[in-house]
Structure 1
Amino acid sequence: MSTAAQHWNDWQKHRKPGRFTDWGDHPFALSQICEQAFGDGDCDFIEYIKRCLPDLAQAHVLSLCCGDGAFEHSLLEKGVFGRVTGFDISQARVDAGNAAYQSLYGDTTEQKIRLECKDVNCEPYGEEKYDVVFAKSSLHHIEELEHAFTQIRRCLKPGGKLVTLDFFGPTRFQWTSQQLKIRSWFWREHVPEALHYDAEGREIPEIDRPDVNAMIAMNPSEAVRSGELYELLNQHFTPTHDIALGGGAG
């Protein structure tokens, strides 16, 4: 088993449902992001996809690095896509998702949402099988990007689309000196003094360039080649919508 698979198996085992796992999941933060990106704080990413691609309501979608398929299930419930096949490297996450959807839908689950344990770094995705490839916060976890982009193109039907929401910042979060300088200035000049301390009153250090080995130990696939991602994406695909969200991408 790869270290990345083991990481996500353990993550599934110890996750705490109902808690925000990322600051961008918080409703207030999300509304601010959507206001900036879409001009409407009530238009989240799911609604935006639905508005921009209304003809995909019956589409068969391949979702990469889908985890337990919770986000994909939201897409189905809201009528954005018609059917989802999901690939994820973690058997534990795939099993948890399939069990949940089998419990909800019984035998119809196979036709609406089906998750498979598959390493998208090296395995085939299929030939002209899908109307859409969906990648939410997944491409920056893929090390073999050339393989992934070749497989995405191969598995899409003629006229198919890639829809991605991802992190395009520096590989392994190795911020440039200029980025760190700007972040430090913002922290000192614009963040209220009260927010410089945690709930126990301990001073929060300024964000610095993280140690690569510590990052790998924390999550083996995190931002593994994110610094190359945007350029490679544009080499393989022609964008029709390209919205910069700012934030961690610098």
Structure 2
Amino acid sequence: MHTSPPRRPLALRHWANRLRSLARRLLPARALDYAQRVAQEQAIFEGQEQVHDLPPIFHYWSNTWLRPQLEALGFSDPDAFFFEQLKKALQEHPDGVRFASLGAGNCDTEVRIARRLVDQGLDRFTLECVDINPTMLERGRALARESGVEAQVLPVQGDFNAWRPDRRYDAIMANQSLHHVLALENLFTAVDTALAPHGRFIVSDMIGRNGHMRWPEAMDIIHEYWRELPPGYRWNVQLRRHEELLDYWDCSKEGFEGIRAQDILPLLIARFDFELFFAYGNLIDPFIDRSFGPHFDADSATDRALIDRIHRRDVEEIAAGRIKPTHLIASMRKRPYTGERVHLPGITPETSVRPVDGRAHA
């Protein structure tokens, strides 16, 4: 863990110009295309009661390698991160606070966090759960009632691509939702405007290549390990196809999955100051995700050894700057923020941005 004195973020004029150009092309999106994507997105998630479920090999990797790094930062997993951040806001303002969660889906994370807060005697808060999908919000409303936090967890239907809050919030959270946002510039402006002066924007999300694809320098290394996999492990469970070598697949072709993932971090840097920043993972992703992860046996010494080797290579390549992380956990503040900044040595917001016009470099 590293703490650094307050400083202004590096100038990212090149990124800013590219993103403004992209925004002019994308925003507003053609009404028909946007409506079709919304319909696809709703259809994809409407029947999913467990949105964040992952295969056992993911949990082996997470508990073995990721959790110790998170615990050094004061939390054990993303749920605990959000809990600690909201708890801090409540302790700082015990008379009552207002939170919002963007893209809350079934509100399951939010309900768990609210229950933990209430169990600790911290019940003077509301947590508005914003999502475009009414079916998922109804599940969230029922879950909040069952968990006894219906007074705190308030499902609100809304499109975060056009979010226009009419009140101030002490914290706004986004849990694996920003990579579904097309109008990131608009959303981050709305968040900045809606945050109270002391407020926090707390995020756990994907920041890799758009559509969750791999950049070439990462794919080259992934293919080294892919060649070691038994043929049966190369069957893509989600796309139902054999991949002799892992192929590029743009997930944003359907709905909004990863539609502007690579723009998230540069735009956050341009808008907010980071109080806590932790970025991680890249090469390991396809081996532990929903597409190929189910083939791995978390109880197999052989499978675990491969995952361990890939993880170590991941850490080595990211530390050297040859590849960039694809996952982000961060707490951000409105500018100017003059407090302590926490990040791993050498892994800062600026060093974690992958240039779009060339390979990653240190």
TM bin (shorter chain): 0.7 to 0.9
Alignment of 1:18-33 (within 5 A): 21-23=53-55, 27-32=59-64, 33=66
Alignment of 1:234-249 (within 5 A): 234-247=269-282, 248=285, 249=325
Moved more, 86-95 or 20-29: 20-29
Identity in percent: 18
**Per-residue deviation, 1:13:** 4.3
Kept in 2: contact 1:173–1:223 (CA 8 A)? yes
CA distance in 2, matches of 1:25, 1:114: 34
Alignment of 1:201-220 (within 5 A): 205-210=244-249, 212=250, 215-217=251-253, 219-220=254-255
Q: Secondary structure at the match of 1:79?
A: helix
Question: Which structure carries more relative contact order (alpha carbon 8 Å, separation 6+)?
Answer: 2
CA distance 1:44–1:174, change in 2 (3 Å): closer
**Per-residue deviation, 1:30:** 3.2
Unaligned runs of 5+ in 1: none
Moved more, 27-36 or 1-10: 1-10
CA distance in 2, matches of 1:61, 1:234: 22
Moved more, 86-95 or 174-183: 174-183
Count of matched residue positions in the alignment of Structure 1 and Structure 2: 238
Query: In the alignment, residue 186 of structure 1 is paired with which amino acid?
Result: Y
Aligned counterpart, 1:71: 109
Q: Secondary structure at the match of 1:209?
A: coil
Alignment of 1:231 onto 2:266: yes
Determine which structure has more spread, i.e. the larger CA radius of gyration: 2
Moved more, 30-39 or 158-167: 30-39
**Per-residue deviation, 1:151:** 0.4
Q: Secondary structure at the match of 1:242?
A: strand
CA distance in 1, matches of 2:209, 2:115: 34
Q: Secondary structure at the match of 1:78?
A: helix
Unaligned runs of 5+ in 2: 1-33, 91-95, 286-324, 327-362
Alignment of 1:5-84 (within 5 A): 5-15=38-48, 17=50, 21-23=53-55, 27-32=59-64, 33-39=66-72, 43-51=76-84, 54-57=87-90, 59-79=97-117, 82-84=125-127
Kept in 1: contact 2:85–2:202 (CA 8 A)? no
Aligned counterpart, 2:21: none
* Post-superposition CA distance 1:156-195 (Å, at most 9, x none): 111100000000001123422222101101323xx56487
Aligned counterpart, 1:91: 134
Alignment of 1:107-146 (within 5 A): 109=150, 111-127=151-167, 129-146=168-185
CA distance 1:34–1:221, change in 2 (3 Å): same
Length-normalised TM-score, structure 1: 0.80
